[in-house]
């Protein structure tokens, strides 16, 4: 066992992305089940933190169950939940016009928000397959009337079973361009969602590690929140992508299974900060 793995295993809190780390589409990634089993066996505090706003924690739990992993709903946090929490703190019992899926709508309902397409406090945009020109027109009109523009996350694209699809940042861009109003984004890498995650874990940042497959969300989120970072190469990032970013993760692995010894290193990436910075 390397010193890097020992250091990670000694942490008490684990913040873990899902797509590209635990699964890809409907397929469980190698070593993922062993990693989750290890977290539970070692009684680690862990949270699956996803920038996706489409699904509820119950939906995510059911998805993992279908893959053979049993995790309670309390271990899931989404950008939709973080967005709802933030808006409830800013405008209790507010009103929102929402372009999004069930996960976002339910999160807002749960904190006391109501849906309003006439005079809302906020226009809130998340990932959705029900995106159309009419909804964009309504959102533009409401923002110009004074509604504040909120995005659940800054992801431009996201992986699907059929390849890359536009995500929240891409979907909200026409509204920003048409109104001249810049959206405020809640999900990773916003420190708001990271502080919320740490509170849910009950762990200090120095005792926590964040594991993800994206340099532009997971890794920068950890860096800006002073949380140790682990990049896994099982998702969207490739080794040649390192040169595009002015920052580096603390550790790089081919997959999460390496952390618990349930997967051999199958890439040429070393487990050290030094090699990650090259």
Q: Which two tokens stand for residue 140?
A: 């533009």
Selection from 83, 45, 81, 90 nearest residue 60 by Cα: 81
Q: Which two tokens stand for residue 205?
A: 């940042």
The terminus-to-terminus CA distance of the chain in angstroms comes to: 23
* CA distances from residue 6 to 53, 74, 113, 229 in whole angstroms, order as listed: 33, 27, 45, 14
Selection from 19, 43, 52, 14 nearest residue 198 by Cα: 14
Neighbours of 146 (CB within 10 A): 10
| Annotation marks residue 117 as catalytic | no
The residue length of the chain stands at: 278
| Annotation marks residue 155 as catalytic | no
Considering the candidates 17, 196, 213, 216, report the single residue annotated as catalytic.
17
What is the spatial distance between Cα 190 and Cα 220, in angstroms, rounded to a whole number? Answer: 9
Q: Would you give the DSSP letter of residue 234?
A: T
What is the spatial distance between Cα 110 and Cα 79, in angstroms, rounded to a whole number? Answer: 14
What is the spatial distance between Cα 108 and Cα 84, in angstroms, rounded to a whole number? Answer: 5
**Which are the catalytic amino acids?**
17, 19
């Amino acid at each position: 066992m390397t010193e890097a793995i020992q250091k990670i295993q000694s942490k008490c809190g684990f913040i873990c992305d899902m797509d590209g780390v635990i699964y890809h589409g409907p397929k469980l990634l190698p070593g993922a089940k062993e990693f989750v089993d290890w977290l539970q066996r070692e009684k680690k505090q862990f949270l699956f933190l996803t920038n996706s706003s489409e699904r509820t924690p119950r939906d995510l739990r059911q998805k993992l169950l279908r893959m053979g992993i049993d995790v309670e709903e309390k271990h899931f946090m989404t950008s939709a939940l973080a967005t709802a929490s933030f808006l409830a703190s800013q405008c209790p019992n507010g009103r929102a016009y929402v372009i999004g899926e069930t996960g976002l709508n339910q999160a807002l309902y749960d904190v006391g928000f109501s849906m309003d397409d006439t005079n809302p406090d906020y226009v809130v945009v998340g990932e959705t397959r029900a995106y159309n020109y009419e909804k964009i027109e309504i959102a533009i009109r409401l923002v110009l009337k004074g509604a504040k523009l909120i995005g659940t996350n800054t992801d431009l694209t996201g992986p699907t079973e059929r390849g890359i699809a536009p995500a929240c940042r891409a979907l909200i861009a026409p509204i920003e361009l048409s109104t001249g109003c810049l959206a405020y984004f809640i999900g990773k890498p916003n420190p708001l969602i990271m502080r919320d995650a740490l509170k849910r874990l009950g762990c200090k940042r120095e005792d926590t590690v964040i594991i993800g497959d994206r340099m532009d969300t997971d890794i920068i989120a950890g860096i800006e929140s002073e949380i140790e970072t682990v990049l896994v190469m099982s998702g969207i990032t490739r080794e040649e992508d390192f040169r595009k970013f002015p920052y580096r993760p603390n550790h790089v692995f081919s997959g999460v299974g390496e952390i618990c010894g349930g997967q051999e290193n199958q890439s040429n990436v070393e487990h050290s900060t030094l090699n990650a910075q090259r």
